[in-house]
Structure formats: C-alpha cells, structure tokens
Amino acid sequence: MASNPKQKTAIVVGAGVGGIATAARLASAGFSVTVLEKNTFTGGRCSLLTHEGYRFDQGPSLLLLPGLFAETFADLNTSLSAEGVELLKCDPNYNMWFGDGEKFELSSDTAVMKREIEKWEGKDGFERYLSWLAEAHRHYEISVREVLHKKLYEHLQSPQTKLSKASVCAASV
C-alpha cells in the first residue's frame, strides 16, 4: 500500500474493466491503489478461456457505450487512438443461432434490422423495435446522468437513495 502515511489509499475489488478503470482513475488522482482479483487473470468478462484446444470468449459480445471508454481514457490524459486502440465496426454486429438452424442477425444497417425483425415479429415489429430503442435511449441517458457520472458519495447524500430513506424512517420510530 502507501509508503507515505499521508497518501490516500484505496482497495479495488475486481480486475475487470470497471475495476481496472476505477483503479487507474484513483491512481491518477494520487491514491495508492491495491486491486484484488479472485481469478488468476485480469479482464473480467473481457477475457478468454481455453479448454481442450477450444477458445471461449467470456464476453462481452458487443461493445456498448464506446463514449464511456473514450471518457475513461480522457480522464487518464490519453485517448484510445494514442494508446493504439482502434474500434472496428463489424457487420453483422451479432448473430443469434437457434437449435433449428435459424438465426437472427443484429445489424446497424436499418434495412437489415427491419427485414430481420419483421421476419420474426411481423409487419408492425419494426415500429415496436424503434419505440423500444427510443425508450431504451431515455433510460440510457438517465443512467449516465444519474449513476455513471456521479460519485458514490453523491448517491449516498441524495434524499432519494434507499439508504437515506431508511435513515429517515429509523429516526422517526
């Protein structure tokens, strides 16, 4: 841990993407950081297992929220490109295979998605999909604003938190 007794220390549990990003941000802020990981490897879901000559990605299957990855690198005074990271667009984005040999193809091409969704969900399926995407985007924006871009202590100080509500209830008994 810290050799300087006045240096702030932190312990991060988990060496997945979130744990490593948190540890890097804390270290960049001057903390002495120790990362604890239960596995013999780092990366969490961004890892690979091998067994009897086969390779198994543990995930993630899709790179979601690339903007948050860019923010993390910016917080550490660098960028994805400066670190040699290039995000490549794959098409199709993802295939879901079913036991009967059928597949559902996820694509960023709107025409392909319309065809795929209507094949499985009927003529009005694509409109329902677009409605679902709009709702999911609203949830995403709220999550980023209210959770991801706030510090833990801000959540604990908020009167809307369960912890605060529990304290108020306990005090009134």
| Banded model confidence at residue 3, pLDDT cuts 50, 70, 90 | low
- What was the pLDDT predicted at 115? 96
C-beta of residue 12 within 8 angstroms of C-beta of residue 19: yes
In a domain, 161, yes or no: no
Q: Residues 21, 22, 24, 28: what is their CA dihedral angle, to the nearest 10 degrees?
A: 130
The CATH number linked to 50 is 3.50.50.60
H/E stretch holding 125 reads helix 125-143
In a domain, 20, yes or no: yes
82-97 pLDDT, tens per residue?
999 999 888 898 889 9
150-173 pLDDT, tens per residue?
777 676 666 665 555 554 444 444
Whether 43 has a pLDDT exceeding 80, the answer reads yes
In a domain, 116, yes or no: no
The two tokens of residue 169 are: 């209830």
36 vs 41, 42, 45, 130, 165, CA distance in Å? 11, 10, 16, 42, 32
- What was the pLDDT predicted at 68? 86
Q: Supply the range of the domain harboring residue 45.
A: 10-88
Q: What is the pTM of this model?
A: 0.68
| Banded model confidence at residue 101, pLDDT cuts 50, 70, 90 | very high
Domain count, the chain: 1
In a domain, 31, yes or no: yes
In a domain, 16, yes or no: yes
In a domain, 3, yes or no: no
